[in-house]
A and B are shown apart, each in its own frame.
Chain A
């Protein structure tokens, strides 16, 4: 198992509500990436945080936002939830260096929007 943890494990919300998901990175890691995994599909990159700043974003609207804290943990916030936001949300932590940046995934938060 990796040292990456996420909370909560499961969440049920209704359309229009807001949600905050949390991720604690593995010790020694300074970068957190967030992914959305719909049922039966591969994870899709949402954004990445490095040194507390957003450092790259995938094709997700601005209602998906995030934070990274000084201890490198991170939050994903989603506003105005839509039914299609139902998915497994994965965070991955890594240590940025020049040659490779292996990303280790947390267990995920399963979000259901009704």
Chain B
């Protein structure tokens, strides 16, 4: 069935260093890949997304890459700051089809930024 695997489950980096989170999806029909950040007790917030016709997208300190052939996508955060500490979820969906565009989430990565 549809599945998204996410690694690592926990990640601790020194403030100012980079953080990388990797995901793999199983459904080759997936065409839209959002990333959500969830702080403790709060809603998941969309931080960046990428469509299947794009290989890379960047927004300030955050970038996402997609390899459709390998069905891999990754989140890169540069110059990490304390406020980047949160749980990050990758996700995959088939947007625009007649069936429901349900989001399949990864299991999450708890990112901690050490001062």
Contact = CB atoms under 8 A, between A and B. Distances in A.
Contacts of A40: 108
B38 to A, nearest CB: 9
Interface string A72-103: 00000000000000000010101011111111
Contacts of B34: 102-103
Contacts of A101: 32, 93, 95-96, 101
B100 A33 contact: yes
Interface residues of chain B: helix, strand, loop or mixed (majority): loop
A95 to B, nearest CB: 11
Chain B interface size range: 20 to 34
A106 to B, nearest CB: 6
Contacts of A94: 101
B40 to A, nearest CB: 11
A7 B39 CA distance: 20
Contacts of A107: 42-43
Interface stretch (B12-20, B44-52, B71-79): B44-52
Interface of A: 2, 31, 33, 35, 40-45, 47-48, 50, 55-58, 90, 92, 94, 96-108
